[in-house]
Chains A and B, each alone.
Chain A
Amino acid sequence: MNPEPTSGVSEPQPSSTVLARLSRFRVLARWEVALLAAVVAVFVVGRVVSPEFLTSYNFFDMGISNGELAIMALPMTLIVATGEIDLSVSSTLGLASSLLGLLWMHGWPMPAIIVVVLACGAVLGAFNGVLVTRVGLPSIAVTIGTMLLYAGIGEILLGSNIVSNFPATYTNIGVYGVPGIGLSYSTVIFFGLAIIFGAVLHFTPFGRSIFAMGANQEAAIFSGVRVKRTKTILYIVSGIVCSGAGILYTFKLSTAEYDNGTGLVLSVVAIVLLGGVSIFGGKGSMVGVVFAVLIYAGLLDALLLTGFPQQASGIVIGGLLLLSVLVPSVPEFRSRLRAGRHRLQRQAPEAAIVHGGSVAQPRLTGDSSSKAGQGGQPI
């Protein structure tokens, strides 16, 4: 299917020229390209609505308010790509924050606290992973449960205490950016981790196995992919990364409170899906998710600068999320309509050709008879 401009289709059949044009279009129709255009649009609009938008101070601000959210989206991308989900991420962040506060209250040295908190995150992730892979429970139910459980443990640990006497060495990350770059520490860590996660996802056998098990778990098992182990590892990584985000979040606010990070999880899921990762697994790219983070952060910030009520910005986020599922399904919807009409006119063969040609599939990998479309595994 090499889309040569002078493609060797000599017959002047209208349907095949349409096909050729569509397959050339496929390269441009990738979801990431649309996202990139949206990123550019958001930043242009931001510059138009406020001259402060493209200033280094504002970039720092955007990073400081969304850094942890963005960091949590990285392991979530990998987990969703395997076809699972982790709804306990924001509770892991909250529990990490509570534990950090509690141990500091009891006079532990900070480096030891950080190690313990990260280890605790690994345990939380392993608990999710074991329930999902070894017990065989649906991850969405498990992680709704552990979302409540971890948030609850955080509440029990810290109660109504608010710890805020952290040393300035650490809390400075909420005030100053990384020297020489100017972005917040959480932003720099996000981009660093995004490169690592992206490389693992797209350029290693481990990453290929993630997509394989997301696309077809049975096939992956039979071809020797260690599905259970891979998923458990991903949940553990998610636990560690999210508790790390909890540490950053606590230092940024200079406050450890049991309800830190409550409700962030739905935004994290929204970002990952907006980034083009299929909720059924098997499709997605790290580039898309990074773009989605930029759109999310830029859009919220632009709305804030225009004085749009910040709480109502959910309309925009929800609208984007809706678009991200609707746009990819438009070609299939149209071909289904057309197939229906053709069936009425008893022209089934042509309908089949048109159906095969519905290529404007913006998601990353092929398989246009997507599971989502066939309702094979709707959640």
Chain B
Amino acid sequence: MTNLDGTLVQATESPQRLVDLVFRLREYGIIAVLVIFIAVTTGLQPRFLGQQNIKFILLNATIYALLALGETMVVVSRQMDLSVGSVLGLSAYVSSNLFGQVHGIPIPVVFLAGIGIGVACGVVNGAITALARVPGLVVTLATLYIIRGIDISIIGGGEVVASSLPAHFLAIGSDSVVGVPYVTMCVAVVIAAGAYFLRSFRSGRELYAIGSNPDAARLVGIPIGRRVFTSYVASGAIAGLAGVLWATYYGTVDSTAGTGYELTVVTAVVVGGVAIFGGSGSVIGAAFGALLLSTIATALYALNVSPFWDPALDGLLLVLAITLDRTLAVRLANAMRKRTFRHEP
């Protein structure tokens, strides 16, 4: 009896620990790549780690890392949100345009307006995906076009210029303490909260369950539709927030704001170790994925390499990352099979 119990406990625990270890290795792996990359670049160009440059890298990475948080929540549940770039654009324009329309509007209201627009878009995405049970990839591909179209018809040929925005608002995107921009700190807090939610909350864990096996998730009674809906709303709200931050950072907003961001964000998420068909990956990894992409872009500049190399390197990195993931997954599956056999003679 005790013997049986003992082997049972071992057999269920040690593969669990192995899985944990591999996933943590993946997270540390991306950080290691980042550190090595920074070390090599700094070795070649010592000024790379200057305060100004760090601030630049962090500011660039901030919006992508924030979007990556929302995208991660959607991707781990085996969906995809392609509309984030369009939502960002719409939110950036409408929120920053409020300063011109309502004199002396408080900045928090502007932020709420941006987030509200994001929530509205997320509700549309989530409701269609969950109610009609159609793939979110297709739904958000459609809303990518529709929201961008709405954005363009609202703006026409116009734009919001930085001079029409209050200095306090623009300061959010540019001021910093000891080289770390305020906006980066705020986003880091949001990302930490998101990571905690996905890691430790029941509904967060259920997103992983849905992503790794939708049928099993349904059978154990997880409300798939509601969870998927919520993750789209969260992703929309985050994209709305990112839109306002985008406006504080760039100051000038026209109808092209955020065009093409969706694929960069998906790239960052996948490079950061989130499986494209859901079930595994972490918010922290995705944030570091965004940071890595942004660091590469800046490093090319610092090393005097043509910026034309940037997309090719990003693409190569993505292909390498998923190849590595695949190899690890196969190894892991083999190792677990061996362990199971060893404990069940």
Contacts and interface: CB of A to CB of B under 8 A. Distances in A.
A325 B139 CA distance: 8
B18 interface: no
A156 interface: yes
Contacts of A326: 128, 132, 134
B276 A138 contact: yes
A18 B170 CA distance: 64
Interface in A235-261: 258
Contact of A378 (B146, B214, B311): B214
A314 B133 contact: no
A135 B326 contact: yes
B322 interface: yes
Interface string B131-143: 1111111110111
| Residue from the set A141, A149, A152 with the largest chain B CB neighbour count within 10 Å | A141
A137 B323 contact: yes
Contact of A379 (B78, B142, B306, B315): B78
A126 interface: no
B79 interface: yes
A379 B323 contact: no
A263 B144 CA distance: 12
A319 B315 contact: no
A352 interface: no
Nearest to B314: A148
A235 to B, nearest CB: 14
B319 A318 contact: no
Interface stretch (A46-54, A63-71, A162-170, A305-313): A305-313
Interface in A105-163: 131, 135-138, 140-142, 144-153, 155-156, 159-160
Contact of A314 (B145, B156, B276): B145
Interface residues of A, number: 56
A89 to B, nearest CB: 14
Interface in B279-332: 306, 308-319, 322-323, 326
Given A142-B319, A322-B142, A263 B260 contact: yes
B100 interface: no
Contacts of B131: 333
Given A144-B267, A325-B132, A326-B134, A131 B319 contact: yes
| Residue from the set A313, A317, A322 with the largest chain B CB neighbour count within 10 Å | A322
A376 B145 contact: no
Contacts of A270: 141-142, 145
Contacts of A314: 144-146, 148-149, 152
A242 to B, nearest CB: 16
A38 to B, nearest CB: 16
A374 B80 CA distance: 17
Nearest to A322: B142
B146 A144 contact: no
A356 interface: no
A312 B141 contact: no
A152 B310 contact: yes
B277 interface: yes
A315 B153 contact: yes
Contact of B138 (A159, A325, A375): A325
| Residue from the set A146, A147, A325 with the largest chain B CB neighbour count within 10 Å | A325
A379 B153 CA distance: 31
A375 B133 contact: yes
Contacts of A137: 322-323, 326
Interface string A346-379: 0000000000000000000000000011111111
Nearest to A273: B138
B150 A325 contact: no
B144 A266 contact: yes
B316 A149 contact: yes
B58 interface: no
A149 B322 CA distance: 14
A309 B132 contact: no
Nearest to B146: A318
B319 A149 contact: yes
A156 B306 CA distance: 8
Interface string A314-331: 111111011001100110
A309 B79 contact: no
A315 B146 contact: yes
Contacts of B137: 140, 279, 379
B138 A144 contact: no
A79 B37 CA distance: 37
A315 B141 contact: no
A145 B142 contact: no
B283 to A, nearest CB: 18
B144 to A, nearest CB: 7
Nearest to B317: A145
Contact of A155 (B135, B156, B311): B311
A160 B270 CA distance: 30
A326 B315 CA distance: 33
A333 B138 CA distance: 18
B121 interface: no
Given A145-B318, A321-B142, A375 B218 contact: yes
A309 B311 contact: no
Contact of A144 (B128, B255, B318): B318
Given A141-B276, A319-B142, A147 B315 contact: yes
Contacts of A339: none
B149 A315 contact: yes
Contacts of B224: 375
Contact of B322 (A145, A273, A379): A145
B145 A315 contact: yes
B266 interface: yes
A155 B312 contact: yes
B159 interface: no
Given A315-B150, A318-B144, A319-B146, A379 B132 contact: no
A333 B315 contact: no
B315 to A, nearest CB: 3
18 contacts: A137-B323, A137-B326, A138-B322, A148-B315, A152-B308, A273-B138, A309-B152, A309-B156, A318-B141, A318-B144, A322-B142, A325-B139, A329-B133, A333-B133, A372-B133, A374-B215, A375-B133, A375-B214
Closest 10 CB pairs of A and B: A152-B312, A149-B315, A148-B315, A318-B145, A315-B149, A145-B318, A152-B311, A314-B145, A318-B146, A314-B149
Given A317-B145, A372-B133, A378-B135, 14 more contacts: A144-B266, A148-B263, A148-B311, A148-B315, A151-B311, A263-B260, A279-B135, A311-B255, A319-B142, A321-B141, A321-B142, A329-B132, A373-B133, A378-B214
